[in-house]
Amino acid sequence: MEAEIGMTGMARVLAKPSVPGNATIWSIRLLCSLGSLLIFFQTIPAAAVESGRLVEKDGKYVFVESMDPAVQLMLDRSLKSGLITQEDYDRVQRESEMRTYLLQPSYKAWYDRGFNFSMNDNAFLLKIRARLAIRYTQRERNDAWRVGDSKNYPELLGVFGDYRANRSIDEGSSFNLKRMRLYFMGHLISPDFKYYIQLAGETAENAQNPGAMSVLDANVQSTHIPWLNVQLGQYKVYFNRSQINSTAAMQFTDRSLASEAFTASGLNRRDTGITIMNDEEVYPVNYYFGVFNGSGPLVNRFAQFTSEEPTQGCPGGQTGGNPFPSPATGCPINQRNLNANYRSSINQLMYAARLQWNIMGRAGYGEGDIAYSESPQMVVGGGYAYNPAINTSTDNAFVGIDLANLNFRRQMATIGNARILGQGVVDLSTWTLDYALKYRGFSFQSEFWFRQVNRHNKGLPCVQTLTQGGACTTFAPGQYGNMTGWMVQSGYYVIPRKLELAARYTFWDPDTNSGGDLIKQVDVSLNWFLFGTYDHQIMVTYSNVAMGMGGFAIGRSAPLPAVGNPALAASFPSGNVPLDQGQQTLIENAIRIQYQLFF
Amino acid sequence: MSSGNIQCERRGDGVSLCVALLVAVAMLGGCARLPYTTKTLHQDRRVVINAQEELDRPGYTHPATLSRSEVAAILAGLSTREQQRLPLRWFAEEVPPKAIFRADEIEVLAPYLAEALTKVGPDERVHFEVIAPGLNPSMSKDSLGGWVAVRDPYLYLSLEYFHVQVPIRTTDLYDYNYPTPPPLAKDYLVYFEPGRFWVTDQKGRRGVNYRAFLQSAPTTNGPGRELRTPAGTP
């Protein structure tokens, strides 16, 4: 049984002067230290009584005195008239309160931003929440979408995961269950040992990730030591602000395309691992350091492998011959080599670090200033992530006939990093800088990203040979460069806490060595927060996206992979027509109307 | 739609659009303002008292001098019930008003409120919050909050939270990435007993004619309920 301090008692305690005399200061410190230890180990066998307590009744919180008012009245009058002594009065009060305390249930249940179930001593809490974001999208695309996007967001379909251009007709109208989330969170044993589980089931917006229930987050957190909080499990990597922000608390219906691409891992914003950090509410300067698989959620590096022939050390990846660069010294030809089973990167991990300085106040996460900050809230932060040995396919340009790594490649294609595919094994180093300001309903945020892609195989990728395993006759026209981008967004609550107008501009260069490949995005949004919180909102977001299709992408642009005489169609295992014909700019104008309920 | 048309429409130049919007936002900047805190007059784990500047120059007669007992007597007469939203207001059964302050809350609040009324200016109001542990004490507090102002002979009280669970952190305790702004202030109907002192002033605002009330009512909370002196006051 843990102590619960009664309201009146607490008032008396709290109202005492906060500065004790010198004679008692050390003993108080000692007591505080002992108290902290007791709290830490959750062994508080103290007992206390209440003069009453707050109870939830018909959706309202009311204070109920422990003692029946009639009895209380009689006691008061008896004391006043001298029928009983003050000692008797106090004893009856205590016994009555203890009786009430013992008779009450040992748990409580209430609704407050979720359904809460808790033991009275607060040693266990389960909070169940759900979030629905239902969306209607009306979009108009230009004719270039008939050719489609094969470079940034291709779909990798079929057992071989061959590239498919993402194409469509001009006009699109669709309803989406954009987000459906179920949350189970709370604490166990102590309020400082927490758990968090988030399940998601939502409409798929592409063909390679069909909608299904999946586990987005599953982690535990220790907050016993404010400067050394620990989070373990699967969750969003603390890297850049726009990714850390919850989609439930945004100024637009979606993150910008660029910020989706610049995740720490380059695959997904979530990963499995461990992070140490300090408490943002306590310290103005915050650090985050995490170690992760670097492979996205619900998967680890055992799902990534390279193709190897039965002869060890001899690269595989295509039927009937060696891939490029080949023949490797001492490697035989014509072995069975669809053995995509050599796991050579399982000793690698991703490292992500973030440093943040709350220059003024605590801007926190959430994009707009819904809280109507009375004083300026300013924060600046930066992050670095190193994710080594990501196999984007065997480095022989024959992506379409390499079974390997569909999981990794699909993750990259889903978030717009598909230009990196086909570059073999790469190390991704990603930097980010971000800034946020919130003040009296106004908000401004900006982010800068840069990703260096370090290819293990140096030199231009070989794409054509005359014979299986023969010398290279045609190389890729250029080397893949790096990625960079930036974003600014601002908003203002025209009606404080309720109606917000926001705009965003995003610039993204997915390959710094290519021309005509820039992606520019403009968004304007009108957001209505019905109850002054993010929990209940209607958003109308207009987006304009222009996506340049210039540049070379292995397996999608000419020259396409071939073995044999390039004049013969039969030499091209995946066909001889490039997917990026014309290399026009894809343009989309879309209006998204979204209703969100978080309860 | 042809690609050419979209080309013309499309960038409407994105940057200039954003700039235009930001300018518009900046122009709107002066329009939508809320009263804001100018100074914190008292803060402990139980009571927080702030001076808040009102934007429409209300012309209060602050500083106002009321004793703690007088403030306590006024607070004891106030009651409230939550106002239903339309259209529920037309159909929902009305809940009888409840006393806003319990005796223990008056005990801790009145001294600081009386002191604060002597420290605010004519454009300021006294914002108060009486805090108790929330249902999940690690995450929330039970808040009884609102503001008080005086324009002689009236004392105005507006209630924002009546035992509402208010998060004590800016982000969720369990979902680190989710901000937890305080809930929006609710609409409460406030009453005062004896009702003859609950009057409408010249501007149509409801308030307590506290001068008349104090002349006719005792200003102590009864035997054994002497109000304490706030820490740090002479």
pLDDT over 70 percentage in chain B: 76
Residue A18 φ then ψ, to 5°: -85, -15
Q: Which two tokens stand for residue A245?
A: 């922000």
**pLDDT category of residue A459 using cuts at 50, 70 and 90:** confident
Reduced DSSP (H G I as helix, E B as strand, rest coil) percent helix, strand, coil of chain A, to 5: 15, 40, 45
Predicted local confidence at residue B89, as pLDDT: 66
End-to-end CA distance of chain B: 78
Look at residue A446 in the predicted model and tell me its pLDDT: 96
Of the ranges A258-262, A339-343, B5-9, the best mean pLDDT one = A258-262
Contact between A24 and A16 under an 8 Å Cβ cutoff? The reply is: no
Structure tokens of A124? 């266990």
Q: How far out from the chain centre does Cα A183 lie? A: 14
The answer to whether A498 and A224 have CB atoms below 8 angstroms apart is no
Nearest chain A residue to B42 by CA: give it. A15
Cross-strand pairs, A487: A447, A506
pLDDT of residue B5 exceeding 60? no
DSSP A132-183: EEEEEEEEEE-GGGGT-BSSSS-EEETTTTEEE-B---SEEEEEEEEEEEEE
Tokens found for residue A33:
């230290």
Q: Which of residues 198-217 of A touch B (CB under 8 A)?
A: none
- Better pLDDT: A137 or A53: A137
CB contact under 8 A, A194 and B174: yes
Which among A521, A524, A532 has the least Cβ separation from residue B183? Answer: A532
CA-CA-CA-CA dihedral for A391, A451, A234, A357, to nearest 10: 160
Tokens at A407, concatenated: 């999981």
Q: Which residues of B touch A61 (CB under 8 A)?
A: 135, 142, 163-165
What confidence category does residue A210 fall into, taking pLDDT thresholds of 50, 70 and 90?
A: low
Is the confidence at residue A107, as pLDDT, over 70? yes
Mean pLDDT for the stretch of residues A291-309 = 86
| pLDDT on residue A266 | 93
**Widest distance between CA atoms in chain B:** 86
More confident residue, A211 or A95: A95
Q: For the segment B83-117, what is each residue's pLDDT rounded down to a tens digit?
A: 777 776 676 666 778 889 988 889 889 999 999 99
CA distance B80 to B84: 12
User: For residues B99, B105, B108 and B109, what is the CA-based torsion angle, rounded to 10 degrees?
Assistant: -40
For the cut 50, the answer to whether the pLDDT of residue B2 exceeds it is no
Q: B128: closest CA among B59, B37, B220?
A: B37
Best B42, B169, B176 member to test A by mutation, with max A CBs in 10 Å, is B176
Q: Which residue has better confidence, A213 or A2?
A: A213
Q: What is the pLDDT of residue B234?
A: 35
A462-465 vs A562-563, strand pairing mode: parallel
Q: Which of A39, A60, A231, A531 to mutate to test the interface with B (most CBs of B within 10 A)?
A: A60
For residue A93, the model assigns a pLDDT of 82
B39 contacts in chain A (CB < 8 Å): none
The answer on pLDDT for A31 being more than 50 is no
Q: How confident is the model at residue A425 (pLDDT cuts 50, 70, 90)?
A: confident
Confidence at A407, pLDDT banded by 50, 70, 90: confident
Cα–Cα distance measured from residue A30 to residue A39, given in angstroms and rounded to the nearest whole number: 14
Mean residue pLDDT across chain A? 82
CA distance A170 to A148: 11
Best B40, B130, B170, B186 member to test A by mutation, with max A CBs in 10 Å, is B170
**What is the least distance, in Å, from the CA of B87 to any CA of chain A?**
16
pLDDT at B134 over 80: yes
Helix (H, G, I), strand (E, B) or coil at A261: helix
For position A285, what pLDDT does the model report?
96
Q: For residues A54 and A57, what is the distance between their CA atoms, to the nearest angstrom?
A: 9
Q: With an 8 Å Cβ cutoff, is A526 touching chain B?
A: no
The pLDDT value given to residue B210: 87
H or E element in which residue A113 lies: none
Nearest-angstrom CA–CA distance, A204 and B115: 61
Q: Is the pLDDT of residue B25 over 60?
A: no
Q: Which residue of B has its CA nearest to A122?
A: B136
pLDDT band at A24 (very low <50, low <70, confident <90, very high): very low
Residue A592, CA distances (Å) to A134, A142, A391, A542, B138 in order: 10, 18, 35, 6, 38
Give tens-digit pLDDT for A553-589: 888 888 888 877 878 877 777 777 888 888 889 999 9
CB nearest B25 (choices: A374, A501, A534): A501
At a CB cut-off of 8 Å and minimum separation 6, what does A87 contact?
none
Give the containing element (helix H, strand E) for A563.
Answer: strand A562-563
Amino acid at B146: G
Name the residue among A269, A235, A239, A267 with its Cα closest to residue A449: A239
Compute the radius of gyration of chain B from its Cα atoms: 23
Most confident region among A14-18, A372-376, A545-549, B77-81 by mean pLDDT:
A545-549
Pick the more confident residue, A465 or A400: A465
Mean pLDDT of B117-138: 90
Q: What are phi and psi of A16, to 5 degrees?
A: -70, 150
By mean pLDDT, which of A294-308, A395-409, A432-446, A528-542 is the weakest?
A395-409
Residue A429 near residue A454 (C-beta atoms within 8 A): yes
pLDDT for B97: 84
Nearest Cα to A47, choosing from A104, A98, A96, A95? Answer: A98
